[in-house]
Amino acid sequence: MNIVITGASQGIGFETVKSLCTDSEHKIIALSRNKDQLEVLRKECLAINANCHVYPIAFDLQDREKYSLLYRDVIEVFKSVDILVNNAGYLSTTPFDEVTSEEIEKIFDINVYSVVRLIQLLKPLMGKEGHSHIVNIGSMGGYQGSSKFPGLSIYSASKSALHTLTECMAEEFKEDNIAVNCLALGGVNTEMLAKAFPSFDTGVSAEEMGKYISEFISVKKVLFNGKVLPVSNSTP
Ligand SMILES: NC(=O)c1ccc[n+]([C@@H]2O[C@H](COP(=O)([O-])OP(=O)(O)OC[C@H]3O[C@@H](n4cnc5c(N)ncnc54)[C@H](OP(=O)(O)O)[C@@H]3O)[C@@H](O)[C@H]2O)c1
């Protein structure tokens, strides 16, 4: 399968690519800003499977002007996309009373607007050669009825927006042979989690979650659409 995954330079995205690369049939575009880390990822993947196909693309999802260049880079690797995993994310812990418009804009730009931009960019490459699947990485923080935490209002609201966007896009893309689902993750031990909950151990490693996401997206036929699935055995 031809797969694009964002936020691949560290944490959950990094580990998802490492798990996906064990299948030599997959061609994987690993996207994020940190070029050096993407190269570390590529080398680690080759050490796992010498026949793997991992293509790093260093790109800042906030760089609106450069999306046409990104499109060019993607179609150099493959002409159709089977799976797009919108995993890149940004979290800030500034209390609500102090959070600035710039910070709100940044959180929503990375967690929501860039997802819209990337889907608009790659949708013409999806659904043509069989069924395609867009998997958004949401959060239990944005899941209705879950525990909420001070300092995470804007981040959680951005993830709620992503959840609703998932449900609505699934409806809009029904005729396009593209399924859209969202995994609302609970806590996973990564740098992002350490920022929000220093020294908290969730009991779930990035490697375990990466393997879970890799297996989730690797199924040949997706039997659901427009779903926000909680992937959590505890909160946060
Ligand atoms: N860890 C948790 O407990 C948890 C819980 C619920 C949901 N999630 C969600 O899971 C996803 C992955 O989280 P994580 O814990 O692995 O986070 P992380 O370790 O902070 O990694 C975030 C990734 O996003 C990329 N990224 C951020 N801004 C970007 C930009 N402007 N352009 C391109 N890439 C960008 C980063 O790469 P560069 O810096 O190289 O660009 C990095 O690879 C996020 O969407 C997060 O909200 C995590």
Please spell the DSSP secondary structure of 171-186, one letter per residue: HHTGGGTEEEEEEEE-
The verdict on residue 135 lying in a domain is yes
Per-residue pLDDT of the chain (236 residues; tens, 9 = 90+): 999 999 999 999 999 999 999 999 999 999 999 999 999 999 999 999 999 999 999 999 999 999 999 999 999 999 999 999 999 999 999 999 999 999 999 999 999 999 999 999 999 999 987 899 999 999 999 999 999 999 999 999 999 999 999 999 999 999 999 999 999 999 999 999 999 999 999 999 999 999 999 999 999 888 999 999 999 987 65
C-alpha triplet 8, 13, 19: angle, nearest 5°: 110
Q: How far does residue 90's CA lie from ligand 1's centre (Å)?
A: 6
The verdict on residue 9 lying in a domain is yes
Whether 13 is in the pocket of ligand 1, judged by its Cβ within 6 Å, is yes
Q: Which domain holds residue 101?
A: 2-231
The verdict on residue 236 lying in a domain is no
Largest CA distance in the chain: 52
Residues in CB range of 38: below 8 A, 6 or more apart: 8, 9, 30, 32, 56, 57, 58
The verdict on residue 38 lying in a domain is yes
Number of domains in the chain: 1
The verdict on residue 174 lying in a domain is yes
- What torsion do the CA atoms of 91, 95, 100, 103 make, to the nearest 10 degrees? 0
Ligand 1, atom 47: closest residue by C-alpha: 89
Alpha-carbon distance 160 to 85, whole Å? 17
Phi, psi of 62 (to 5 degrees): -85, -10
CATH of the domain at 200: 3.40.50.720
Ligand 1 pocket test: pick from 5, 85, 87 the residue with the most ligand atoms within 8 Å of its Cβ. Answer: 87
Closest ligand 1 atom to residue 91 Cα is 47
